[in-house]
Amino acid sequence: MSESKSILFRDPLLYYQGNPFLKPELINTFQLSHTFKGKYTTAVSYNQTTDVITWISGQIDAINTTFEMPKNLSKLINYGVSFTASTAIFDWWTGSHFANVLRNEYKGSVENGNLDNKVTSYSFNSQNSFKAGSYSFELSGYYYSGSVYWISSYKANYAVSTGALKTIWNDKVSIKLMVNDIFQSNRYKEQTLFQNIDMQTDKRPDSRRIMLSFSYRFGNQNLSKKERKSASEDIQNRVKGGS
């Protein structure tokens, strides 16, 4: 059987290629969760994937070129615990929060050796809303610790965003200002040290953005829900009655 490869160069020193001989993944998963007072949820999970599809890296020393291609690895095991909470500390302060601790373990045979790459990582994100009269404020952020994928390791990263909303003219007009990734910290740093591969990647997207929006609500804002419901029921009665 001849092997057909599709190649895409990202730059003169790195290209991606396909793999027509991939096997499908098989995942066995278990999860147990508990919710307390409808606000706090704790979950425990365990997943085992065989023939896990991962992107491997290789290097052609003669031309100093690196390539990446999908390939089946023997096994990926991950397990952990997560916690989700909805809070209303004060009438003017509400929020939703998520925390997770996860263990990833990659195992399998690779060219000229065996792979056993594992790490315990954790993450946290929080979204908060504040109200003060006709003003509303938002503050959100996340933090991801270091993690592993195949033969690569990823550094920690985080981001903080905020926003403010002001309503005027009897709540008909809303003016909203948002600032995403205030500190421009949404940065992905990857390191691959395996056999003859020594590759460093630093991705820093242009994620810090400032957005100003203006919206105007048309129509009678004082129309009660009862009046709206009555109008809707009248239409339904006409349809049913054929008039």
pLDDT tens-place string over residues 151-179:
788 889 999 999 999 988 887 888 999 99
Higher per-residue pLDDT: 243 or 234: 234
Higher per-residue pLDDT: 15 or 195: 15
Range with lowest mean pLDDT among 15-19, 137-141, 156-160, 238-242? 238-242
Higher per-residue pLDDT: 101 or 8: 101
Higher per-residue pLDDT: 181 or 190: 181
Q: Percentage of the chain with pLDDT > 70?
A: 86
Q: Return the structure tokens found at 107.
A: 């195992």
pLDDT at 80 over 50: yes
pLDDT at 1 over 60: no
Residues 86 and 120 sit within 8 Å (Cβ to Cβ): no
3 state DSSP class of 25: coil
pLDDT value of residue 2: 42
pTM exceeds cut of 0.75: no
Higher per-residue pLDDT: 13 or 2: 13
3 state DSSP class of 19: coil
pLDDT value of residue 8: 82
Instruction: Tell me whether strands 113-132 and 135-144 are parallel, antiparallel or unpaired.
Output: antiparallel
Higher per-residue pLDDT: 226 or 203: 203
Among 38, 107, 112, 113, smallest CA distance to 78 is for 107
Q: Across-strand partners of 40?
A: 36, 85
